[in-house]
A and B are shown apart, each in its own frame.
Chain A
């Protein structure tokens, strides 16, 4: 008997306490990392996530809502007809919060000394969150991505749109300072600029100007374009590195997926506007858009080699062209009409250099001669309807933004920004069906957030409700 108990007791002793805990301590994930050694390993992912935010589904939707593209079949057709559902926002929203914000937080935590890296992610964050604020209005930011997120985390609150813009200006200021003082370097994991500090600094300034334009603070915007992107090589782009789906142009991916044929540029207002054959279009004695029209053509049934949807074509996120156009608009709005024309002409000179976009066929013509004030005066080639000179110049700047901004949110942002105060210069694209009378003024909050966040604005704004800054 005693032997039995001895054996049992020793057994219990053997496996209790430490031995036992060590034996079952095997729950660390054997397949995936739970810690990354350095924040730069996360950088590429955050930049790619932002490429999708800027150039994915929602940018194509924004093109449907500004006469740029047509949704022909299935879901694309449904959305084109303004049946946009909250589910359509899920992907992009996820990339903003999970793809960028929570990753940035982790980068800041594990690599507090990589100052250039931190500056880059600040700019990237400002780009993503600014896009969110512009599209959705109030969004969670100050209380988003809390520490120790879990089932018991309080639902993040929605910051007022203006507060979000203000926070981003501060964030960008901080980024610019960090870049100026940075001692570390970032390399090829930076898909946008390959670690080029000058470019990042300029892009941060242009981005500040962009947001001041969005909040209609044109004078402030003017102070930042000066330090903004000052050459085509300074344009911030998402850069494909190959030709398989996973590393190529996002438009290419879409038009070559099973969605081929669901979307087209054929017959869209944009294509008519820049068609030289269209006498009501924007071609004139000084302007020939033939080559740009060819470059931006999306037939939807497969990509156009060397076009805007070519597999390897970089996709512009914050551009030299945008900086010049902000500059022109802000000069005009601060009453420097000639200055505005000069900036517009700088852009036209750039377009005329043949370097602003790819020329697909050698026979495709283009011409962008400099405008003079007389062109905008009553009866001038840019003012045949006899409006005020300043409005004529502004109208041309806005139209140029519409054309230059093809495939980005710029046209959608402009039409909403100008609706209250400058409706006379809005590019007059038609609505997509006869039953709709107002153009969409925002995109809807995502279903995933509606389902889970009790702080979602109530009532939930619909597609035709302006965001606060555009009211």
Chain B
């Protein structure tokens, strides 16, 4: 239709000299916002016509009164007016809802008109998804869709992100949505693996979805409801993301090349004190863990008084020689806080170059793309590199048979930085380092008093002479320069599709896909790395091989049963096969001081090497179908279902049926004239989706066991082998955990579709949630993996868009989204809690009757009305009776606000998003206060009244002391070293609760400006279609009460433990500049 119109206009322009000059009609054509320039006016049945000028005016000669003028403009409903005796015809054209229709790609890969489906989804425009030089697709979703939350796990290059749709619905297994690319599931693993088995530490691993080249993406949709995912049965518990990729288009040869650079800078720094030196009780000590020492400015200045007669440390970084400081000999007033920071962090730079080539004719199309990203992170030595190529070829083999084949190769390489609760982590060492310690000379040769030399010793703030094998905490320069945490991934994704059109009604598609990747990781810690397990070296070498095969055969039947009733039925059959093999070798206690990762078997004694191979294999078969009935353009009913058999379920009960039903009533079509309402639809949906058990849990297995009662283990493998029943019982009665969801929604559009509003209320319940359930050990086993919990989510989502300015030059819109989700674990078998954050003093758990992820720890002793019970000195006391609930990391609501403005070829867009009511355990701040390095504990105050400290000492008015004034409800008290070192700190018996605070945030997430040159003159001069320049920024401002860290950062990465920060690597703020050539 549109093409015809264009053709018509062209013909009309060519023939405009031929005029039937009998009468002249004039007038003005406008739309509701004003005159429409370049609208066309054609005399019906002829090729005669004209166009409006810049002010919407026209003039046309008509042969006679019978002539009918056709007024049309792209995107507007044409109008026909018979001339009769009129000499002026002015009218207002209305926007054509059909032309505006968005298309939606369903979970099965079919294109549907938006208004014809009743599912709840959010569509994110491909060009809005990823700003020019950004390579993390997932982060591009953030803030753009109601009910979808994205949390970056760290600012490390290529680090993974957590996607959560409508709250968490399960306890084990994946919490991430299913990603379907061109009808085939894509692997989005984020595996920590054996080499990084401690979820509280290690490095942030990648999310595999980020492997995709953003340039390949044509459309990106998030289906939130169970009804849309039911066809994927057991894989769709966490929602479905449907991505379609670009194909070549019929027409001329096209090419694009884009190039960009982006700069990452550290977004937030923990504020540190620079006034007091290393030591305790106001006295300097060069080996103290704390920075509760002397006032640095009180020192005499000049060089330290050192003892050159005995031991010393000879730096391998500089020419410095470091001698023991004599007692009382700390003279230097130098402070290194900023210097130390700058030695570790930098502005990261990313170069990103991509190209696409495409062409096509009636025989077929061709698309080729490639890209290379090279990123240096904000932590020196961290990097991420990605190279990818995609080829997508379609061929029309016959009139009826079309083939499409796509191949995608990706290579990524990275080195990330150890973080978290980890003595070999970056921030832990850096933020605990005393302000008067210079980290520069981090490695060197230690000379003992007797003259013995130990080469390559690790020098840290607690071991300033490097005189021990045990550095206690890493010097941050050691972390970034001597350690390695690399990951190299080769990935190949291939899909093929045959499409046979039997006739106008029936089409059959045969679709197959493979997704292979091999992830090879090395973690290397040389001799003298902090931590007892790493003191004499540790290497973890791990390879993860993942293969996924997918095949589908589906047939689509489309019939018009009556004039008003259209049906569309899809029947399909699918196979899926997922297998993984992990090979893991670890070795410690190297026989010599090796400085780089070699063969583990080469560098450690045999008894210090162990290895493990883990294979998993899962298969499923699905029979699925949907039937869609569309009656009178008003009623839409879609019923669907999938019957699935899954290998990880017991053989005699491995088949499950997942039904879905969606009903939509486009009530606006019921009225001839619905006034300002241009579209209105009521949606009702119901669906079931599931998560199947982890593979191979049916049987109780034998293990080569080990036996320990308290730090004293002995192991069968060291006794020549043998077996014992694992303490985890197999379960032959496993069922899938099934989520049932109901939703009701309303889609409204007003004022010629200028304003659109979509709201949805949903409630879902996941029953038979799979978890590890403790059983009485006297049964012979300690635990069983089984179905034993129920989780409920209820929520409300709103998406609103107002296109408030639209004419030839200007286009401006504002979009907003809002969502709430209330989560509750309504049943938890075995009682107690499930801890997602083991090893942490504050835990994020599942607990019956509470939202998932609730924070628990020891807190202050309180009376029944919640007031703290204070001690005699007016200080809080620790409630040692057990863990209390101290916070909820789930937000009360989230929202996003996007502005888009374009004028001619310039466009500007800005995105804000917010999360309100979420709590966070800021343990970095809490612990650095304990250590005396946090700025909070660097204040000097002069007392205006006598104050008592935690110890009960009275400090008189007028005294100048280090500390803060506090008031816990019983008058002012002095918070000094005694308070911070007694009630702050690790583990039990501390006021851990005080680390938990509201972490609501509002973020200026994105700002992007682009300018496109595509004038005729430019085209003629350069041969290019267009050139586009873009500048953008991400994470520009965060408004939050959290100090020192992006409140989105999570110590426990992509998982269910949330709302914790403990020496997590910082987030980044990004500025990007790009240029794109279209040929």
B621 contacts A258, CB within 8 Å?
no
Residue in B573, B702, B831 whose CB lies within 8 Å of A451: B831
One digit per residue, 1 when the CB lies within 8 angstroms of any chain B CB and 0 when it does not, for chain A 117-156 equals 0000000000000000000000110001110011101011
From B571, B647, B712, B788, A57 is in contact (CB under 8 Å) with B712
Chain A residue nearest to B575 (CB atoms) is: A23
Known: A45-B716, A448-B774. A33 touches B723 (CB 8 A): yes
Interface string of A315-340 (1 = CB under 8 A from B): 00000000000000000000000000
Q: Tell yes or no: B63 within 8 A of A by CB.
A: no
Determine the chain B residues whose CB is within 8 A of the CB of A91 once the complex forms: 708-710
B506, B615, B708, B779: which contacts A145 (Cβ < 8 A)?
B779
Tell me if A34 and B621 are in contact (CB < 8 A): no
- Stretch in A206-214, A241-249, A267-275, A425-433 with 4+ CB within 8 Å of B: A241-249
Separation of A452 and B831 alpha carbons in the complex (Å)? 9
Give chain B interface residues in 563-603, CB to chain A under 8 Å: 571, 573, 575
Known contacts A91-B708, A244-B608; 7 further A-B pairs (Cβ under 8 A): A25-B651, A34-B702, A41-B723, A49-B707, A75-B710, A92-B709, A97-B777
Chain B interface: which of A62-70, A102-110, A358-366, A407-415?
Answer: A102-110
Residue pairs across A and B with Cβ atoms less than 8 A apart, 18 shown, are A4-B555, A11-B573, A20-B621, A25-B647, A34-B702, A41-B722, A41-B723, A52-B707, A52-B708, A103-B724, A103-B725, A106-B725, A145-B778, A145-B780, A149-B780, A245-B718, A452-B775, A452-B777
> Cα distance A155–B831 when bound, in Å?
15
| A313 at the binding interface (Cβ < 8 Å) | no
Interface residue? B283 (CB, 8 A): no
Smallest beta-carbon distance B698→chain A, Å: 5
CB distance from B619 to the nearest CB of A (A): 5
Q: Pick the residue among B575, B607, B613 that contacts A244 (CB under 8 A).
A: B607
B901 at interface, CB cutoff 8 A: no
Interface residues of B in 744-782 (CB under 8 A from A): 773-782
**In the complex, A31→B708 CA distance in Å?**
23
Decide if A189 is an interface residue (CB 8 Å cutoff): yes
Output the least CB separation between A207 and chain B (Å).
21
Would A246 and B717 count as touching, CB distance under 8 A?
yes
B714 surroundings in chain A (CB, below 8 A)? 48, 51-52, 245-248, 250, 253
Contact between A20 and B645, CB atoms less than 8 A apart: yes
Task: Say yes or no: A26 contacts B619, CB within 8 Å.
Answer: yes
**Count class of interface residues, chain B:** 35 or more
Interface: A32 (CB within 8 A) = yes
Chain B residue with minimal CB distance to A247?
A: B718
Residue of chain A at shortest CB distance from B651: A25
Q: Are B719 and A97 in contact (CB under 8 A)?
A: no
Do residues A34 and B724 form an inter-chain contact, with CB atoms below 8 A?
A: no
Residues from chain A with Cβ under 8 Å of B786 in the complex: 151
Identify which of B406-414, B726-734, B926-934, B1051-1059 touches chain A. Answer: B726-734
In the assembled complex, which residues on chain A have CB atoms less than 8 Å from the CB atom of B508?
A: 4, 7
The reply to whether the CB of B654 lies closer than 8 angstroms to some CB of chain A is: yes
Contact (Cβ within 8 A) B607 A146: no
**A4 touches which of B506, B620, B700, B784 (Cβ 8 Å):** B506
> What A residues does B722 contact at CB under 8 A?
41-45, 189
Q: Which residues of chain A are within 8 angstroms of B614 by Cβ–Cβ distance?
A: 31
Residues of A within 8 A of B832 (CB): 451
A446 engages B723 (CB within 8 Å)? no
Using a CB–CB cutoff of 8 Å, the interface residues on chain B facing chain A are 502, 506, 508, 532, 553, 555, 571, 573, 575, 607-608, 613-621, 623, 645-649, 651, 654, 695-696, 698-703, 705-727, 729-731, 733, 773-782, 784, 786, 788, 829-832
Contact A254 B621 (CB under 8 A): no
Q: A11-B553, A31-B614, A31-B615 are in contact. Are A24 and B647 (CB under 8 A)?
A: yes
Interfacial chain A residues near B784, Cβ < 8 Å: 150-151
**B829 / chain A contacts, CB cutoff of 8 Å:** 151
Do A27 and B781 contact each other (CB < 8 Å), given the known contacts A4-B502, A254-B710?
no
**Mask for A12-42, Cβ within 8 A of B = 1, else 0?**
1001000011011111111111111000011
Distance between Cα atoms of A188 and B722 in the complex (Å):
11
Interface membership of A257, Cβ < 8 A: yes
Query: Given that A97-B780, A150-B731, A257-B712 are known contacts, is A191 also in contact with B647, CB under 8 Å in the complex?
Result: no
What residues of chain B lie closer than 8 Å to A97, measured between beta carbons? 777-780
Contact present for B713 and A15 (CB under 8 Å): no
CB-nearest residue of chain A to B698: A27
Asked whether any CB of chain B lies closer than 8 Å to the CB of A440, the reply is no
CB distance from A110 to the nearest CB of B (A): 11
Cβ–Cβ contact B573 & A452, under 8 A: no
A-B pairs with lowest CB-CB distance, top 6: A246-B718, A102-B780, A56-B709, A57-B709, A45-B724, A145-B780
Q: Are the C-beta atoms of A144 and B709 separated by less than 8 Å? A: no
| A156:B712 contact, CB within 8 angstroms | no
Question: Which residues from A are CB-within-8-Å of B731?
Answer: 150-151
Residues of A within 8 A of B710 (CB): 56-57, 60, 75, 88, 91, 254, 259
Inter-chain contact A27/B780, CB cutoff 8 Å: no
Q: Contact: A24 with B776, CB < 8 Å?
A: no
Interface residues of A (CB under 8 A from B): 1, 3-4, 7-8, 11-12, 15, 20-21, 23-36, 41-46, 48-49, 51-52, 56-58, 60, 75, 88, 90-95, 97-99, 101-103, 105-106, 139-140, 144-146, 149-151, 153, 155-156, 188-189, 191, 241-242, 244-248, 250-251, 253-254, 257-259, 446, 448-449, 451-453
Contact of A94 with B607 in the complex, beta carbons under 8 Å: no
Which B residues touch A43, using CB under 8 A? 722
Given contacts A24-B654, A52-B708, A259-B710, contact A30 B617 (CB under 8 A): yes
Q: A94 touching B782 by the CB < 8 A rule?
A: yes
Instruction: Report the minimum CB–CB distance from A464 to chain B (whole Å).
Output: 21
Known A34-B699, A34-B702; contact A241-B719, beta-carbon cutoff 8 A: yes
Bound form: Cα–Cα A159–B127 in Å: 71
Task: Give complex CA distance A429, B645 in Å.
Answer: 67
A150 touches B706 (CB 8 A): no
Question: Are A49 and B715 touching (Cβ within 8 A)?
Answer: no
Residues of A within 8 A of B649 (CB): 27
Closest chain B residue to A157 by CB distance? B778
Contacts of A448 in B (CB 8 A): 774, 776-777, 782
Complex Cα gap A250–B714 (Å): 7
Assess whether A151 is in contact with B709, with CB atoms less than 8 Å apart.
no
* Chain B residue contacts of A98, Cβ below 8 A: 724-725, 727, 777, 780-782
A4 to B657, CA, bound (A): 25
- Pick from A60, A90, A246, A251: contact of B719, CB below 8 A: A246
A191 and B573: CB pair below 8 A?
no
Partner among B502, B615, B723, B775 whose Cβ is within 8 Å of the Cβ of A36? B723
* Closest beta carbon of chain B to A456's beta carbon, Å: 9
Distance in Å from the Cβ of A447 to the closest Cβ of chain B?
A: 10
A372→B724 CA distance, assembly (Å): 51
Evaluate contact between B776 and A449: CB separation under 8 angstroms: yes
Rounded to whole angstroms, the CA-CA distance of A24 and B712 in the bound complex is 43
- Counting chain B CB atoms within 10 Å of each CB, which of A15, A43, A58, A188 scores highest? A15
Contacts of B616 in A (CB 8 A): 30
Residue of A nearest to B614 (CB): A31
Closest A-chain residue to B734, C-beta based?
A: A27
In whole angstroms, what is the CA distance A60 to B532 when docked? 24
- Interchain nearest-CB distance for B525 vs A (Å): 17
Tell me whether A102 and B619 are in contact (CB under 8 A): no
In the complex, what distance in Å separates the CA atom of A150 from the CA atom of B616?
Answer: 24
Q: A24-B645, A30-B616 are in contact. Are A58 and B709 (CB under 8 A)?
A: yes
Beyond A150-B784, A451-B774, is A45–B705 a contact (Cβ under 8 Å)? yes
Asked if B776 and A155 sit within 8 Å, CB to CB, the answer is: yes
Interchain CB contact under 8 A, A27 and B701: no
Contact B712 A250 (CB under 8 A): yes
Give bound CA distance, A346 to B703, whole Å: 45
B residues in contact with A36, CB < 8 Å: 702, 723
Interfacial chain A residues near B648, Cβ < 8 Å: 27
Q: How far is the CB of A89 from chain B (nearest CB, A)?
A: 9
Select one of A1, A93, A102 contacting B781, CB under 8 A. Answer: A102
Known: A103-B725, A242-B607, A259-B710. A28 touches B776 (CB 8 A): no
